[in-house]
Amino acid sequence: MLKLRDNQWGFDISLDNPFRIFRVLREYAVNALEESNIVDLSRGDPGYGYSPSVRGREFYAFLVEIDTILNHPKEHFVSDNRDDFDTLWKKIQDHAVSTYSAPKADKLTQDFYFFLTRIEKYAKEQGLDWDKKKIIFEMFKYSVVTGGSYLDPQGEPLVRMVVANHYNEKYNLGIDYKDLVFIQGVSHGIGVAFKLFNDPKIDFLKEGDHVMITSPVYSPYNTIMDNRGLKPYPIPVNPATGKVEGDIDELLKNAPENTKMICLIDPNNPTGFMCDEEFLKKIAEFAKKRNCLIVSDEVYGDFFFERKHVIMHYAPERTIMIGGRSKIERSTGLRFGEFIVHKEAQKYIPENILKGKLDTAPDFMSLLVFAKAPGGGIRGEFQHVTFVTGPSQYLGAAHVIFGDDDRNEYLKRIRVGMESFYEILGLPYNKNLYYSCFDLMEIPGCTKQGVQAEELFVGLAKKGVVLIPANLFFSEQERSKKDLRTVARASLPNLTFSNLQRAAKLIKEYMTA
């Protein structure tokens, strides 16, 4: 068995990366039980309990077929096809009719026409004069749908229109396709942000500077800051309620003078709570007073129907939002995320925060494109590559446009699952979503006082439940005040409803035996 620390458990919750610990715990589970008897709550991946939009996948599969009709060894769509829209549309209809039953062919062609109509609408709203023929050209030129060519380094304009419209419909941000840069998932975006702002030529974040961040927080943020010599200034949050612990005004007042950046994870990982409007307003006010940059990780934002306000509403000139398709579309394997930067920020950040230090980049959006390439540099070594493939972009767009029914059903099931999980454990449920962050020792009837934290997680793994220890999601200051080694993070969309109930029962039985 892989060991992280040379002790009887093979890991130390106080010292070892929790994302390596859960692999050790999985080994314990696999060695004790059949794979089918393991319920894994350790990963933030919904793909074990839920599948991506069926309609979106069916539509994308049809696009792949059409690409083979328009691009093949005897015909190249860009150079050989001179058909008008009606002729092209008849080719597409004829293929559907010859390949599928009449009802299926009708459904696919109706979806295709609906897709074209949607894109035409988004293009007009976002300042582009695209008709349906132009849209088909953009989709199938050089087989971009199936990964046949390098894409726009910022992301395909057609797909960026779809994503921008999504944010405008939900939050009324007033953005367009030019305000997005596609990235290879949100984790890529987090790394890019720190790589860029910690770069010595940009000269913004320096060793010893403070970054304001909540505690608990997605633990890679703590690791990134530690690796780069940055110091977190934690805002403590109660993992059971999502509320700030202490006086937020005092916490902000006492922030070190060299606090340069504020990192929000909204909704939060690992607690599953969104930031309330009052908190966002205070953060925005503080950021303006201190001239801080705000980076807001909002990959879980679509899980809250009632969520209408984000930090960009209150500090648009200094905010970089990071979002993605992965969680809400149950498609973590797409590796499809985005930076969202309001036009106010595209002007304000380089002029007033970075003080004109863009090095070789002509503007801020180009700087993001340069920085997202592999390696340590931000100077455009790979500025011609998007790093989100054509299939990922177009399948993601298909999920956004056609996934409403599946998405709404998914959200309903998550809510029911969350309530059931907490009810079985006997813990209060405060309407957090996606994640649960709770202390194993606070489960009513707990009989495991005095048992080492590592033994608890191993014992649960041997029973078939894999949880991720959340100790290092908390700041060093919080860990010095209280022993948090028995706090676990559970990713609840990771399981079907029946397995989620089973997991809760196994946890309850083990902790109270």
Q: What is the C-alpha to C-alpha distance for residues 190 and 405, in angstroms, rounded to an integer?
A: 30
Cα torsion 123, 298, 302, 54 to 10°: value is 70
**Beta pairing, strands 435-439 & 319-324:** unpaired
The domain limits of the chain are 18-50+406-512, 54-149, 162-386
Closest CA to 263 of 221, 302, 304: 221
Specify the fold of 18-50+406-512.
Aspartate Aminotransferase, domain 1 (3.90.1150)
pLDDT at 1: 59
Q: What's the helix, strand, coil split of the chain in %, to 5?
A: 50, 10, 40
Q: What is the C-alpha to C-alpha distance for residues 300 and 199, in angstroms, rounded to an integer?
A: 28
Contact 404, 111 (CB under 8 A): no
pLDDT at 389: 96
User: Which stretches in the chain have pLDDT values below 50?
Assistant: none
Which CATH number does 162-386 carry? 3.40.640.10
Q: What is the C-alpha to C-alpha distance for residues 132 and 334, in angstroms, rounded to an integer?
A: 27
Question: Do 18-50+406-512 and 162-386 come out as alike in CATH topology?
Answer: no
